[in-house]
Amino acid sequence: MARPDFTQTEMMIVAASRLLEDGKTVFTGTGMPILAALLAQNTHAPKLAIIYEAGGMCPHKPPTIPLSVGDSMTTYKAVMASSMDYAMSFIQAGYGEYAFLGAAQIDMYGNINTTVIGPHDKPKVRLPGSGGANDFGSLCWRTIIIMRQDKQRFVEKLDFITTPGYLTGPGAREKAGLPRNTGPWRVVTQLGIYGFDEDKRMILLSIHPNVDVKDVQENSCFPIKIADNLVTTPEPTTKELKVLRSLDPYHVVLRK
Amino acid sequence: MEVLDEGEGELLAWCDPDEHREWVRKNKCLSMEDKTMGLREAISKFVQDGSYIALGGFGHVRVSMAAIYEIIRQRKRNLVVAGKTAVHDLDCLIAAGCVSKVEVAYAFGHELRGLSPASRRAVETGQVKVATEWSNGAFQWRFKAAASGLPWIPAYIMMGTDTFKHSSAKIVKDPFTGRPICLIPACFPDVAIIHVHRCDRYGNCQIDGILVEDLELARAAKKLIITTEEIIPNKRIREEPWRTCIPYFYVDAVVEVPYGSHPCNMPGCYYFDEEHIAEYLLLTRTTEGTKKYFDKYVYNVKNFDEYLELVGGVKKLNYLRKLEKGKARFTYPWIQS
């Protein structure tokens, strides 16, 4: 399935980066989300404002990718070194267009788990917890989740809802008290790009090259709907790959 | 106000703001006095077994590693720690056996480097208890509430999730909008330790780069230890008062520790020592290795200066300064480890 000239990770990051519209704000988590945002900024979206939860606003061409959403690279030639109160208030007031998150588990409503695998009081694997994810997923207009897909990750029921997706379906976010018209917008995996239908359930919008539709269902515990107008994700272009690899010259993220 | 839902987590480090006000009036020194002291004295005086502590910076950025090593050296036990984006700071304290309870917004991870082996082991075996879950935004707003002398702060976060269920927040019906809103309780830590770029001997501090949540944390904590790269004359503070982010009122101790954040990142000064962090992550995979690490770098060194020699001395520190400016080759040895 994998072609020799680009990896699954590269396909995921390229597909995710194309989702980001120029001239908007994006709040990213560590790893693939940062790299996807940087790729967008260095290709089709030069005016994309990358903002980090710890306070870095709009860094410009850092010499290496941030290892942390609060390290020096997040303020490299930035427009402002602010604070977490500043960044979180900014999105609560409606200035956060995209949230860009990773996840350990996701369900069909786009709820995500980054806290624990197994019971909370007797964890099988203890993960780091929400970090800024719950804030981003609650407050940004459109949340994009980038993660690998398999039956351990695309689950019927999460072990723990760390960050809200559409919770139990239409109207549930608003009923819980979350700001209206927010929620998960896209999910990008090594197999395709998903959106959410009118029932707020995950639906396959685009399938990556050389992936079969049955792979998509075989790698999920919940049923995945297929869009009527399903398209194939265009392969990464030579330019996208070149820029992407130059942004992570030490293969800190791309090694995965 | 009608309470719609309540988190089931333990309410820690909260008190009635009236009590806090009285505590402040009785205990805080409001006159500008020399607060300088040694690290050993500062930690033994202000950090007790069982204290609720919060560490400034961002887990592995501008954290006071010198103070953390000193806490470990003094074998403090049963600390309760605010896991408000805790990374290398908390991981070391857990690995060394100082911690019994954590409130978690982000903990037990090393961001891009992966999960922290020592912390994971401690939580998964029950040695360390997770008291509550929060988001990063929630935790810093807990400090903001405390800093403002308020019992809680409202926000549109955590609602609908297990993060809320495991927190000590409450959801109420907002009397203005009529909709649910989350009330995040104040957090008044017993002691906070914040590493800054420079301050005077009275504790008037300047921080370069992002403030993270230190503007709020400094004012929320009952006792505040400042460690600093450099002590500067009060005259320099007064020449640029707009640069002061923590004024002396809040500060109980000032300790000068150049490179006090090593092996972590001090914005504008020095970058992560990835070689050292890789050694730490490798050794802490086992309890034997963990003991070896702390014997070598904490228990068997007299002070932080001796530690700096041990990790590579001037040559290493100069390299980290160059890295911070993007003028040396970055390495990520934990990729192979």
Q: Exposed, middle or buried: residue B178 (CB in 10 Å: 0-12, 13-18, 19+)?
A: exposed
Q: Which residues contact A7 (CB under 8 A, 6 or more apart)?
A: A254
Neighbours of A212 (CB within 10 A): 11
pLDDT for the residue numbered A1: 42
Contact B209 A253 (CB under 8 A): no
Task: Establish how many alpha carbons lie within 13 A of residue B229's alpha carbon, considering only the half-sphere containing its beta carbon.
Answer: 17
pLDDT for the residue numbered B336: 62
Interval B155-192: pLDDT, tens: 999 999 999 999 999 999 999 999 999 999 999 999 99
Query: What's domain A8-188+235-247's architecture?
Result: 3-Layer(aba) Sandwich (3.40)
8 Å CB contact between A169 and B151 = no
Contact A74 B210 (CB under 8 A): yes
Taking residues B47-65, report their average pLDDT: 98
Q: Which of A10, A21, A53, A240 is catalytic?
A: A53
Contact A81 B109 (CB under 8 A): no
Contact A68 B119 (CB under 8 A): no
Query: Is the predicted ipTM greater than 0.90, yes or no?
Result: yes
Q: Does B271 touch chain A (CB under 8 A)?
A: yes
Contacts of B61 in chain A (CB under 8 A): 54, 68, 70-72
Q: Does B334 touch chain A (CB under 8 A)?
A: no
Contacts of A79 in chain B (CB under 8 A): none
Taken in order of first residue, the domains within chain B and their CATH numbers are 3-136+187-335 (3.40.1080.10)
Residue of B nearest to A68 (CA): B111
3-state SS class at B50: coil
Taking residues B218-231, report their average pLDDT: 98
Q: What confidence category does residue B337 fall into, taking pLDDT thresholds of 50, 70 and 90?
A: very low
**Probe site for chain B from A135, A141, A158, A167 (most B CB atoms < 10 A):** A135
What's the mean pLDDT when you consider all of chain B? 97
Residue of B nearest to A54 (CA): B212
Residue type (1 letter), B322: K
In B, residues 97-136, which contact A (CB 8 Å cutoff)? 104-109, 111-113, 115, 119-120, 123-124, 126, 130, 133-136
pLDDT above 70: percentage of residues in chain A: 98
pLDDT above 70: percentage of residues in chain B: 99
**Probe site for chain B from A28, A69, A72 (most B CB atoms < 10 A):** A72
8 Å CB contact between B70 and B39 = yes
Interval B244-262: pLDDT, tens: 999 999 999 999 999 999 9
Contacts of A139 in chain B (CB under 8 A): 137, 156-157
pLDDT for the residue numbered A2: 45
Neighbours of B130 (CB within 10 A): 22
Contact B160 A64 (CB under 8 A): no
3-state SS class at A151: coil
Contacts of A38 in chain B (CB under 8 A): none
Question: Smallest Cβ distance to A83: which of B108, B119, B213?
Answer: B213
Task: Establish how many alpha carbons lie within 13 A of residue B49's alpha carbon, considering only the half-sphere containing its beta carbon.
Answer: 6
Per-domain boundaries in chain A: 8-188+235-247
Interval A187-202: pLDDT, tens: 999 999 999 999 999 9
Distance CA A88, CA B211 (A): 13
pLDDT for the residue numbered A255: 83
Interval A20-47: pLDDT, tens: 999 999 999 889 999 999 999 999 999 9
**Probe site for chain A from B136, B165, B176, B274 (most A CB atoms < 10 A):** B136
Contact A31 B112 (CB under 8 A): yes
Question: Smallest Cβ distance to A123: which of B87, B123, B210?
Answer: B123
Residue type (1 letter), B314: V
Contact B326 A63 (CB under 8 A): yes
Please report the number of interchain residue pairs, chain A to chain B, with beta-carbon separation below 8 angstroms: 205
The answer, yes or no, to whether the previous bond of B263 is cis (omega within 30 of 0) is yes
Question: Smallest Cβ distance to A70: which of B144, B210, B215?
Answer: B210
In B, residues 50-69, which contact A (CB 8 Å cutoff)? 57-61
Contacts of B105 in chain A (CB under 8 A): 129-131
Residue type (1 letter), B169: A
Contact B272 A120 (CB under 8 A): no
Q: Which two tokens stand for residue A20?
A: 């980001």
How far lies B151's CA from each of A83, A85, B18, B148, B184, in Å? 22, 17, 9, 9, 8
Q: Does B170 touch chain A (CB under 8 A)?
A: no
Question: Smallest Cβ distance to B111: which of A30, A120, A172?
Answer: A30
pLDDT for the residue numbered A74: 96
Q: How far is A87 from chain B (nearest CA, A)?
A: 9
Pairing of the two strands B205-206 and B244-246: antiparallel
pLDDT > 90? residue A61: no
In B, residues 140-159, which contact A (CB 8 Å cutoff)? 140-141, 144, 155-159
pLDDT > 90? residue B335: no
Look up A53 and say whether it is catalytic.
yes
Interval B270-315: pLDDT, tens: 999 999 999 999 999 999 999 999 999 999 999 999 999 999 999 9
| pTM listed for this prediction | 0.97
Contacts of A31 in chain B (CB under 8 A): 112
pLDDT > 70? residue B316: yes
Question: Smallest Cβ distance to B61: which of A68, A76, A122?
Answer: A68
